[in-house]
Chain A
Amino acid sequence: MQLYPLKQVTIVTEKILQDQLLPKLKELGAGGYTVSDCSGDGERGLRSGVGYGSNIQIIIICPEEVAHKILTHVSRNFFENYSCIAWIADVQVMRGARYVKKP
C-alpha cells in the first residue's frame, strides 16, 4: 500500500468564528476540512452550553507549507482574544493528491 506523509492541523475554537475561519482555510490552500461541535474545559473556563460558549473542532489534512500558513493565521488572529488551541501532527494518507489543492 502506498502511503503519503502529510500534516494534520487540528483547531479547537469558538463556534462563532466558524463563518470567518472556514473560507479562510480554503484561501490558505486547504483542499477540505471536517468540522464538528464539541465542548470542553480549559484556561478560559467551561466551554459548553447552548448557543453561546460552544466550541468547534476543525480537522484539515494538508501539505506542511499550508499547515504552517493556517497555524500562523490562527495564532495571529485568535490566540489573544478567543478560546483557541491548534496543533499540527504527522499523518500518513492514501491518495495523497487528494489533499493538495489544485491551483
Chain B
Amino acid sequence: MDPMKILHSLAENLLTPIPMCFALGIFCKLIHGGIKIPKELYYSISIFLLMSIGFVGGHELAKEVKDHGISTVWLPALATLFLGCFTPISAYVILRRLGGLSVADSAGIAAHYGSTSAVTYAVADVFANQSGHAPNSFLPTLVTILECPGIAIALAMGAVFSKVKHDAKQSETLLPPDDGHSHTKEEGQLGEALYEVLTGQSIMLMAGLLVIGFVSTFIMSEKGFHPFFDFFYSKGMIFRGALCIFLLEMGLVAGERLGDLKKVGIFLVAFGILVPIFHGFLGAYLGHLAGLNLGGCTVFAAIVSSASYIAAPPAVRLTLPEANPTLSITSALAITFPFNIAFGIPIYYQMAKMIGAT
C-alpha cells in the first residue's frame, strides 16, 4: 500500500471542519481562551444527534428489510454481538497481564472499550459519506447492539474477580466471613448498573427513535413521512453543523483532561491508541466477512474500536467504585476519541480497502 496515499487520506480527514472544531476546542483550553458552550446547548445537541441517528437508521433499516428481508442484516448483527463480547475481554486481558493494572481498574477501563461512542459513529459516518462510500443503512442498529454487552461483561468480570480475590484474602487472614450481605449487594449493584445503561439516555433515544423510524416507514405514506425525515436528516446539514458544535465542546473537555495524561502513564497512552487499532482491524475484517460495504466496514471498525464515555462511566462508578475513574475517562476521552477522530477513521478506511471491501 502506498504510504503517500495514507498520508494524503489522513491530511484530507484532518483538514475537515469536524476534526478541526475538536482541535479548536483543545487549543482554546490550552491557551485559556474564552469559548464556552452552555450545558443546555450541549445536552440539546446530543439529544438531536441521538434522535437523528436513531430515526434515520430506523427508516433506512425499514427500506433494507422491505427490499432484502433480514438476510443482509443478521450476519453483521451477529458479528456485532460477538465483538461486543470479545472486545471487553481482550481489553481486560491486555490491561491486567501486560499493564499490571488492578482487577477493578482493568475491568473499569475494559467496560469503556467494550462499549461504543455514538459520536465516533457520527463522525465516521460523515467521513464515509464524504469519501463517496455511503455505509450500509443499518449501521445505527449495530451501534445500539454494541452499546450494552461490553459494559455488562466487563462489570461482571470485575465483580467476579474482585470477589475471588476478596474471598482468598479473607481465608488467608482467617477473618470471619461476611454474613453474605456484601455479595448480594454486589449482585444488586451489577443489575442496577445494567439497568442504568439500558435505560440511559443514549440507548433510550437511539433505540426508541430507531423503532419509531422503522415502524412509521412501514405505516405512513411517503408524503406524510417526509417532513419528519427532512427534519432529522436535513440532507445531513443540521446534523453536521450540530456535530461541529458538539465536537468543539468535546475538545474543550478533552483539553481539560490533557493534564491527566501524566497521571495515567505511558502504558495507558499506548493502550488507548494500539487497542483501538487492533479492535478496529477486527471490526473491519469481520464486517467484511459479514458482507458490509467499504463505508460500512470503515464505520463498523470505528464503532468497535471506540470507547464509551457517556454510558460506561456512571455504570462503572456504581459497580466498581474502587476503579479509578481518571484512568478510564482520560484514556477514552483524551486519547482514544481524539486518535479515532484524527487518524483512526482514515486508517480503518484504508484497512477495509486492503481487506477487499468495496
Q: Which residues from chain B contact A53 at a C-beta distance below 8 Å?
A: 313, 325, 329
A97 to B253, CA, bound (A): 46
Contact A82 B314 (CB under 8 A): no
Partner of B314, one of A16, A45, A49, A50: A16
Contact B321 A81 (CB under 8 A): yes
Q: Are A81 and B322 in contact (CB under 8 A)?
A: yes
Q: B321 and A82: CB pair below 8 A?
A: yes
**B256, CB-defined interface residue at 8 Å:** yes
**B317 and A14: CB pair below 8 A?**
yes
B349 contacts A by Cβ under 8 Å: no
Q: Please tell me if A51 contacts chain B, counting CB pairs below 8 Å.
A: yes
Residues in chain A near residue B322, CB distance under 8 A: 80-81
Whether the pair B260, A45 counts as a contact (CB closer than 8 A) is yes
A1–chain B nearest beta-carbon distance, Å: 41
Q: Considering the complex, which residues of chain A in the window 5-48 have a beta carbon less than 8 Å from any beta carbon of chain B?
A: 14, 16, 44-46, 48
Interface size on A, residues (CB 8 A): 14
Q: Return chain A residues, CB-CB under 8 Å to B321.
A: 80-82
Contacts of B309 in A (CB 8 A): 52
Closest to B313 in A: A52
B39:A50 contact, CB within 8 angstroms: yes
> Are A50 and B313 interface neighbours, CB within 8 A?
no
For B, the interface residue count at a CB cutoff of 8 angstroms equals 18
Decide if B105 is an interface residue (CB 8 Å cutoff): no
Alpha-carbon separation in the docked complex, A99 to B321 (Å): 33
**Which of A14, A44, A45, A50 is close to B253, meaning CB atoms less than 8 Å apart?**
A50
B28: Cβ under 8 A from any A Cβ: no
Chain A residues contacting B260 (CB-CB under 8 Å) are 45
Contacts of A45 in B (CB 8 A): 260, 326
B326–A51 touching, CB < 8 Å: no
Measured in the bound complex, the distance between the Cα atoms of B24 and A62 in whole Å is 49
Q: A45-B260, A45-B326 are in contact. Are A50 and B43 (CB under 8 A)?
A: yes
Q: Beyond the given A14-B317, A45-B260, A50-B43, please list 13 additional residue pairs across the A-B interface where CB-CB is below 8 A.
A: A16-B314, A16-B317, A45-B326, A50-B39, A50-B249, A50-B253, A52-B309, A53-B313, A53-B325, A53-B329, A80-B321, A82-B317, A82-B321
Q: Which residues of B contact A (CB under 8 A)?
A: 39, 42-43, 249, 253, 256, 260, 309-310, 313-314, 317-318, 321-322, 325-326, 329
